[in-house]
Structure 1
Amino acid sequence: MYRVPNYTQTVSMKLSEVLADIGIDERIVMKRRRTWLLNESIININYQLRVENNLTHILGSQSEGTTTIGIDSDIDKLICYKTLPVTQDWSDWIPGENNLLMIQDNSVSPGYCLLQVLRDDAPLPLDEPLDDESDQYFFKDRTGKILFQKFYSILYK
């Protein structure tokens, strides 16, 4: 059975003191968390008002309240585009929709997946990009699968 060393409480107290000295105490952490939750709510209400079927989650050290002034920490946003059905199984394919199939294999880091583009007329993989303009959204992997790619990245300061 694992036992916690006797000095753990002392180290924890000293760490709390140091964090409080640089501006990270429980009050500030909770204030930052509430601020970013409010920001997230405003973004999602804005989507609803514009009748966009999206959802944003703000993650990371900013929203957790665990960053300090001067670190220049970025803001991590996860935007869910609900207009693109992502399926885990071929049987969940929806006719007439731009479906994406979730692929998790050894080539992908844990916690991540690849999104394979499927045809809208049959539950089959798309074998050619739709047009030249769609190349910014898709790429072909080494096995020939057409995959959805991250098409923009914005860092908020």
Structure 2
Amino acid sequence: MTLTHCDSSGAASMVDIADKPVTTREARAAARVTMSASTLQAIEENGLKKGDVLATARIAGIQAAKKCSDLIPLCHPLALSKVAVEFALDKNANAVNIEAYCKLAGRTGVEMEALTAASVAALTVIDMCKALDMGMVIDGVCLLEKSGGRRGHYVRENT
């Protein structure tokens, strides 16, 4: 298998997508932040001094998806048509589950944008709650699904 971001000499390079067809591209990614039960309760009750944790993390994730090409050197700047970031509180695991969704009509996929959105949303949860809980952990950052493009539809198994 040849990596697409390397030229013939092995140097990193941006992939030329000019001749690729425009198709609808979608991706979903996940992340999880585990924490103490009291921190999760504070998030649920909107009881933090910094404000609404999930609303702030949602906006941060959306902004991150739009800035992905500024953060990851070989990503193309994309005209995203949709970015959504959703949260589910898991009281059994004392965790916030995060799912990000990105969509566009374009020549390259939106997997990195969805992964960046989920990751930055998770980081924002930690930033908003660190005064209560320095032991929070981000894990489970992964691509859940992607569609569009030459490689077709991918769905992560065991999600």
TM-score (norm 2): 0.32
Q: Which has the higher contact order (CA 8 A, sep 6+)?
A: 2
Q: Which has the larger radius of gyration?
A: 1
TM-score (norm 1): 0.32
Question: Which structure has the highest strand share of the two?
Answer: 2
